[in-house]
């Protein structure tokens, strides 16, 4: 049995769960610091955090001095508190990004508690191993995005729904707190997912009780109080901003009557899940197959009702939504990981060998390629391969960071020891897969982070831009995006006068954002171009700075 496999003590005398726990903690920590806010999600999120640090307004989030009503303020408040607490040890943006690790840690803690509540002792570690073993989770959950608060809230809420089978107050508190965190983190989506799931669970006998109905009522009170406090404060401040948040950024995005979010082809989530949720998706399918084939066996279907219902609800809601991104799949990883934990014990020996070999040889080969390509980058041999890598990041100067090299070397040695021998069980095979994927992520987050940072950060572009600005006075902007406005305020302490909102702005400088295919033209011919640039290696975006206080003969466009 899986529980027996997980709970035994190793030769060192330590409980077997300590090793997966240590791996999970390392997975959460690695990659949280060491780079600028990256475009596009991190850049605009941190821009809001910077404004909160400057203004301290918990009611109306703002970006570069203007209201930014996409999300409620919980993540920004926590990130600002983290920035203040750790700014003496880390750069401000790295200190703020620790908030993501905080929310991810909460999500993983309650995911493990839910697995233990549903299935029994021994399943928490397996569920966490599945979660950190998926290709879609590691990159996004180390970014400064509000979705991590949504994930944490849903994880706490799921735990409350699991407890509701046998307790009242603990279940009510967890479900209500989870819904409140999800709401204050990202709006109506999280409470909606938890609410629909909670209303459908009485289809199963374990939740068809009077106590469960009381749990839902009490949990609603727990959730409504903080949500109503923020909404009433927002409405009292500005009914227009309340309308913008509720109608445009919640219902408008979902139903598609406002063109804000990204739109992808039909079936986007179906084919994205094939890689995003691997290996959780096939393992979850195996668990459901086993439960369907053996309905009379209690252990085959024990505990799968809640994660199955939540997976159906999340998948259906995402499928009906007008806008779609792979980032929005994060909540679905919670129920899939819970289902997959049951599938691990049903994995045949041949399947365990396949997972083990995939980790040892497949992920091992990827890790080796990451090392070798980094050596090419810093050593310059073969020269044509280095030139190929540098072509994607023009101006990048490869340097050896010995701290990064040391961390990468330690991770490689530990992973090699863990994957030295083939696994003899499905749980051991899953451990090897989690170790292999964590190693690949660690190598990318140490050796390669300066390379990625050179192309995803706006720092070098803004430094070049600022050198061409007139001293003093305001700067106008046209078509300038939210990430760019946020980073311009952070790196240069400049908040532009947007011509979209202030068409008669009397500024001597104008920054226009456009595309390389269409250019970045000034609105009137009296503007003279003095600077043109973009992020290093960016072949799509284009920025052009114009001034009124120079003549065409005096201007020389600078191409950074």
Does residue 537 come out as left (phi exceeding 0), alpha (psi in the -120 to 50 range) or beta? left
**Residue 528 and residue 522: Cα distance in Å, rounded?**
8
Helices marked H in 62-168: 74-86, 92-119, 123-132, 147-163
Give the DSSP letter string of 32-43: SSSSPPPTTHHH
**Residue 30 and residue 196: Cα distance in Å, rounded?**
35
3-state secondary structure 476-525: EEECCCHHHHHHHHHHHCCCCEECCCCCCCCCCEEEEEEECCCECCCCCC
Which two tokens mark 485?
A: 């406005």
Cβ neighbours of residue 145 closer than 8 Å, sequence gap 6 or more = 41, 42, 45, 100, 327
**Residue 308 and residue 133: Cα distance in Å, rounded?**
20
Give the DSSP letter string of 403-453: HHHHHHHHHHHHHHHHTSS--SSHHHHHHHHHHHHHHHHHHHHHTSHHHHH
Domain boundaries of the chain, sorted by first residue: 30-346, 349-456, 459-547
Mean of per-residue pLDDT scores for the chain: 90
pTM of the model: 0.93
Helices marked H in 120-255: 123-132, 147-163, 169-186, 189-200, 210-237, 239-243, 253-255
Per-residue pLDDT of 276-293, as tens digits, reads 999 999 999 999 998 888
**Residue 146 and residue 148: Cα distance in Å, rounded?**
5
Rounded alpha-carbon distances, angstroms, from residue 95 to 101, 107, 260 = 11, 20, 30
Which two tokens mark 515?
A: 């595309």
How high is the pLDDT of residue 264?
72
Q: Which of 21, 27, 31, 17 is nearest to 132 (CA)?
A: 27
- DSSP state letter for 167: -
**Residue 516 and residue 341: Cα distance in Å, rounded?**
48
Residue 243, number of CB atoms within 10 A of its CB: 13
In terms of Cβ atoms closer than 10 Å to its own Cβ (0-12, 13-18, 19+), residue 337 is buried
How high is the pLDDT of residue 555?
54
Which residue has 């003899």 as its token pair?
A: 424
The answer to whether the beta carbons of residues 24 and 106 sit under 8 Å apart is no
pLDDT in tens, the chain (560 residues): 454 444 444 444 455 667 788 899 999 999 999 999 998 899 999 999 999 999 999 999 999 999 999 999 999 999 999 999 999 999 999 999 999 999 999 999 999 999 999 998 889 999 999 999 999 998 899 999 999 999 999 999 999 999 999 999 999 999 999 999 999 999 999 999 999 999 999 999 999 999 999 999 999 999 999 999 999 999 999 999 999 999 999 988 888 777 665 667 778 898 999 999 999 999 999 999 988 887 656 665 678 999 999 999 999 999 988 888 899 999 999 999 999 999 998 899 999 999 999 999 999 999 999 999 999 999 888 988 989 998 888 878 888 999 999 999 999 999 999 999 999 899 999 999 999 999 999 999 999 999 999 889 999 999 999 988 888 789 999 999 999 999 999 999 999 999 999 988 889 899 999 998 888 899 988 899 999 999 888 888 999 999 987 776 555 565 55
Radius of gyration from C-alpha coordinates of the chain: 25
543 phi/psi in degrees, rounded to 5: -125, 140
How high is the pLDDT of residue 560?
55
Which residue has 């496999």 as its token pair?
A: 5
The answer, yes or no, to whether the previous bond of 40 is cis (omega within 30 of 0) is yes
Which two tokens mark 534?
A: 């973009």
Q: Which of 448, 377, 379, 436 is nearest to 411 (CA)?
A: 436
**Residue 150 and residue 136: Cα distance in Å, rounded?**
16
**Residue 361 and residue 420: Cα distance in Å, rounded?**
10
- Give the end-to-end CA distance of the chain in Å, rounded to a whole number: 62
The answer to whether the beta carbons of residues 415 and 368 sit under 8 Å apart is no
């Amino acid at each position: 049995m899986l529980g027996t496999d997980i709970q035994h003590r190793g030769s060192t005398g330590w409980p077997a769960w300590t090793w997966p726990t240590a791996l999970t903690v390392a997975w959460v920590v690695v990659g949280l610091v060491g780079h600028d806010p990256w475009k596009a999600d991190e850049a605009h999120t941190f821009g809001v955090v910077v404004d909160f640090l400057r203004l301290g307004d918990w009611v109306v989030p703002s970006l570069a001095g203007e209201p930014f009503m996409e999300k409620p303020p919980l993540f920004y408040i926590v990130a600002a508190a983290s920035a203040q607490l750790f700014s003496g040890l880390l750069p401000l943006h790295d200190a703020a990004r620790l908030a993501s690790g905080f929310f991810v840690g909460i999500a993983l803690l309650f995911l493990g508690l839910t697995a233990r509540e549903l299935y029994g002792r021994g399943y928490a570690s397996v569920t966490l191993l599945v979660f950190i073993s998926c290709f879609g989770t590691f990159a996004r959950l180390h970014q400064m995005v509000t979705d991590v608060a949504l994930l944490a809230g849903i994880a706490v809420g799921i735990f409350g729904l699991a407890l509701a089978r046998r307790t009242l107050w603990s279940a009510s508190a967890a479900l209500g707190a989870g819904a409140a965190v999800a709401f204050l983190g990202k709006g109506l989506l999280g409470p909606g997912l938890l609410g629909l799931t909670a209303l459908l669970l009485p289809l199963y006998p374990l939740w068809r009780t009077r106590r469960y109905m009381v749990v839902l009522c009490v949990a609603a009170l727990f959730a409504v109080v903080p949500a109503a406090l923020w909404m009433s404060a927002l409405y009292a401040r500005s009914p227009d901003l309340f309308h913008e948040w509720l109608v445009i950024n919640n219902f408008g995005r979902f139903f598609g009557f406002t063109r804000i979010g990204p739109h992808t082809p039909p079936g986007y989530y179906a084919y994205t899940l094939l890689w995003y949720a691997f290996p959780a998706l096939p393992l979850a399918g195996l668990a459901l197959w086993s439960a369907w084939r053996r309905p009379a066996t209690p252990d085959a279907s024990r505990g799968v009702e809640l994660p199955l219902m939540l997976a159906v609800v999340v998948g259906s809601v995402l499928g009906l939504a007008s806008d779609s991104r792979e980032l929005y799949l994060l909540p679905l990883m919670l129920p899939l990981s819970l289902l997959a934990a049951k599938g691990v014990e049903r994995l045949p020996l041949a399947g365990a060998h396949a997972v083990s070999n995939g980790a040892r040889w497949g992920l091992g080969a990827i890790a080796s390629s990451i090392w070798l390509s980094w050596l090419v980058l810093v050593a310059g041999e073969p020269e044509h391969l280095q030139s190929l890598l540098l072509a994607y990041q023009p101006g990048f100067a490869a340097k050896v960071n010995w701290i990064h090299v040391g961390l990468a070397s330690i991770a490689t040695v530990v992973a090699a020891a863990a994957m030295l021998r083939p696994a003899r069980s499905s749980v051991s095979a899953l451990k090897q897969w989690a170790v292999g994927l964590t190693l690949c992520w660690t190598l990318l987050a140490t050796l390669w982070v300066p390379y990625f940072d050179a192309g995803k950060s706006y720092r070098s572009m803004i430094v070049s831009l600022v050198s061409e600005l007139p001293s003093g006075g305001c700067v106008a902007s046209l078509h300038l995006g939210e990430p760019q406005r946020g980073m311009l305020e952070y790196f240069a302490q400049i908040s532009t006068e947007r011509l979209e909102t202030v068409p008669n702005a009397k500024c001597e400088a104008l920054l226009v954002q456009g595309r390389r295919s269409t250019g970045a033209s000034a609105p009137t011919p009296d503007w003279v171009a003095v600077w043109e640039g973009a992020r290093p290696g960016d072949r799509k975006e284009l920025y052009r700075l114009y001034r009124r206080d120079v003549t065409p003969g005096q201007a020389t466009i600078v191409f950074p």
